Amino acid sequence: MPEYSLQVQFNQSQLDILYATGSNVVVAKPTGGSSPNVAWQVFKPMRSNKLGWGEEYGIYASTARVENGAELEQLSATPVGAARNKLYTLEPSSNIKGPVSGGSPDAYCLLNKYDPQPYMTVGLYQDATVNGTDIIGNALSAVPVLLSSKATMTPFTTVYIWLQSQVISNTVVTLVTSPMTQLKYGDGVNTLSVAYDSSSGKFLSTDGTRATEALISFIDPVL
């Protein structure tokens, strides 16, 4: 499986301001082509930061609501390394069974048969390493799924990064208060390096040898 990394730089005066305002680095990943709705990794910035991850995923189910700030505690989950193109089933016992045929191409699929609840929150989770610390089991997506309905989740190698206070890892985030920088991995791009720009609130490339306009774009806050 491909391995990816992101280097993020700040200067000391920026760190002083971020610490004073309680602002942290938020990293998220989309599924299904939509904007992300989960804070996958949130960490207190240092001058030089490194985030690393591999393209392996697990599928989880939770009773949490998909609302801003909700913590995505797992009721049940597959191990990391779940099979694409296959179907898993969340059984009434809360166990996840599978994989079997019946999935969707290039996607992870879960059929919700957990009848103690009228719906479940389902998503993908992915392990990472942040500044040398292994972070295990954080969700990167969340979608409500009715009983007897199926969730189809297609992950992308794109990463979103921004700064925000009062957000923690593994929670739903639908209110974004600062510009998001979108970083496009894949097609031979496994490593990107950015630095924070205080005047714009965005993260700008520090790699002068690449055609970064094709790899980095920006999204205004969503309030």
pLDDT digits (tens, 9 = 90+) for 124-147: 999 999 999 999 999 999 999 999
Q: In the structure, what pLDDT confidence band is assigned to residue 221 with cuts at 50, 70 and 90? A: confident
Q: Is the N-terminal amide bond of 99 cis, ω within 30° of 0?
A: yes
| Domain membership of residue 197 as a residue range | 3-219
Selected residue with higher pLDDT from 5 and 32: 5
Over 80: is that where the pLDDT of 187 sits? yes
The reported pLDDT for the residue numbered 215 is: 86
Over 70: is that where the pLDDT of 223 sits? no
Distance CA 113, CA 103 (A): 16
pLDDT (tens digit per residue) in 195-214: 999 999 999 999 865 556 66
Enter the pTM of the model. Answer: 0.95
Q: Considering only CA atoms, which of 67, 63, 18 is closest in space to residue 45?
A: 18
Q: In the structure, what pLDDT confidence band is assigned to residue 4 with cuts at 50, 70 and 90? A: very high
| Average of per-residue pLDDT values in the chain | 95
pLDDT (tens digit per residue) in 68-123: 999 999 999 999 999 999 999 999 999 999 999 999 999 999 999 999 999 999 99
The reported pLDDT for the residue numbered 212 is: 64
Give the tokens for residue 186: 């894949």
Distance CA 124, CA 50 (A): 22
The reported pLDDT for the residue numbered 24 is: 98
pLDDT (tens digit per residue) in 20-49: 999 999 999 999 878 899 999 999 999 999
The reported pLDDT for the residue numbered 222 is: 64
Over 90: is that where the pLDDT of 158 sits? yes
Q: Considering only CA atoms, which of 27, 53, 64 is closest in space to residue 163?
A: 27
The reported pLDDT for the residue numbered 125 is: 99
Domain count of the fold of the chain: 1
